[in-house]
């Protein structure tokens, strides 16, 4: 189900919807926060994950404090997504309404298993970088970095010297480390000839066992001649 609780009671509903007369107070399990009055609208549509889905448009206003709030909600298989626009200034709220609706309609669901989304390099990179933000992850990142530096300093020299047209641009490796410490998946960006040469050698690595199976690490390679 996709939902939208949004336009002020004195506004028109989002484009394509019609406001249904009457006010209702949200139920206890409603995604709209308690204390807000809801004025339901007819269904709108939201393009999400290459398919059209209906979402419910409504208008909300906190009568006592004068808050105006828009809440777009979407229930995925494993997560519940909320977009919230709130303001005590009516003019600012109205001005931001079209941008808020455009943001909601731009939403696209990628995956409920981000660690397996190998076609989305930036997403995997973020996962790998987030892994280093815990004490255990930071310690493993140091261990992995020390191993990688010792093992592949000579590999990089060999790759550059052996390629007649070596592409010496900086590149990034994302390595999924299996429970036994072996590289299970290696992603490159950009995929230069030097990066491919290094990847061939990395496939034979044996790292320390990671904090958990299928553990992503990020290696940034900068080549200085």
143 and 58: one domain? no
**Residue 131 pLDDT > 80:** yes
87 and 119: one domain? no
- Domains identified in the chain, total number: 2
Q: Comparing 74 with 147, which gets the higher pLDDT?
A: 147
List, in sequence order, the alpha helices (H) in 51-173: 90-105, 121-131, 135-162
Cα distances (angstroms) measured from residue 221 to each of 114, 156, 224: 24, 10, 10
| Rounded Cα–Cα distance for residues 186 and 201 (Å) | 11
pLDDT at 82: 78
Structural domain ending residue among the three candidates 94, 109, 124: 109
| Among 65-79, 126-140, 146-160, the least confident range | 65-79
139 and 91: one domain? no
81 and 175: one domain? no
**Residue 128 pLDDT > 50:** yes
15 and 77: one domain? yes
Domain containing 209 equals 115-221
Per the structure block, which two tokens stand in for 217? 């690490």
Structural domain ending residue among the three candidates 109, 131, 149: 109
Summarize pLDDT for 59-87 with one digit per residue, the tens: 444 444 566 777 777 777 777 777 788 88
Mean pLDDT throughout 41-48? 47
92 and 160: one domain? no
What CATH number should be reported for the domain holding residue 123? 3.30.1150
Structural domain ending residue among the three candidates 61, 92, 109: 109
102 and 7: one domain? yes
Summarize pLDDT for 107-120 with one digit per residue, the tens: 777 777 888 889 99
The number of beta carbons lying within 10 Å of the beta carbon of residue 55 is 23
Please count the CA atoms within 13 angstroms of the CA of 148 that sit on its side-chain side: 22
| Rounded Cα–Cα distance for residues 72 and 116 (Å) | 27
144 and 200: one domain? yes
pLDDT at 12: 39
Mean pLDDT throughout 40-60? 43
In the chain, % of residues over pLDDT 90: 46
Q: Are 203 and 137 in contact (CB under 8 A)?
A: no
92 and 149: one domain? no
Say which residue the tokens 């989305």 belong to. 120
Say which residue the tokens 């009671």 belong to. 9
| Rounded Cα–Cα distance for residues 55 and 32 (Å) | 14
Per the structure block, which two tokens stand in for 84? 């919230």
22 and 71: one domain? yes
Summarize pLDDT for 86-95 with one digit per residue, the tens: 888 878 888 9
149 and 172: one domain? yes
Q: Are 189 and 121 in contact (CB under 8 A)?
A: yes
Q: What is the pTM of this model?
A: 0.61
8 and 98: one domain? yes
């Amino acid at each position: 189900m996709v939902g939208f609780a949004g336009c002020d009671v004195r506004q028109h509903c989002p484009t394509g919807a019609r406001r249904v007369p009457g006010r209702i107070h949200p139920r206890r399990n409603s995604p709209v926060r308690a204390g807000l009055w809801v004025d339901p609208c007819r269904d709108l549509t939201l393009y999400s994950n290459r398919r059209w889905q209906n979402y419910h448009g409504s208008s909300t206003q906190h009568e006592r404090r004068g808050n105006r709030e828009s809440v777009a909600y979407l229930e995925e298989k494993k997560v519940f997504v909320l977009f919230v626009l709130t303001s005590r200034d009516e003019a600012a709220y109205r001005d931001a309404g079209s941008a808020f609706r455009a943001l909601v309609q731009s939403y696209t669901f990628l995956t409920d298993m981000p660690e397996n989304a190998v076609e989305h390099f930036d997403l995997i990179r973020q996962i790998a970088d987030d892994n280093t933000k815990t004490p255990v992850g930071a310690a493993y990142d140091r261990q992995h970095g020390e191993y990688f530096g010792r093992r592949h300093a000579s590999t990089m020299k060999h790759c550059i010297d052996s390629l007649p047209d070596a592409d010496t641009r900086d590149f990034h490796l994302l390595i999924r480390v299996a429970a036994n410490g072996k590289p299970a998946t290696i992603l490159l960006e950009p995929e230069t000839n030097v990066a491919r040469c290094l990847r061939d050698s990395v496939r034979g690595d044996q790292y320390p066992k990671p904090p958990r199976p299928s553990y992503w690490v990020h290696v940034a390679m900068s080549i200085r001649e």
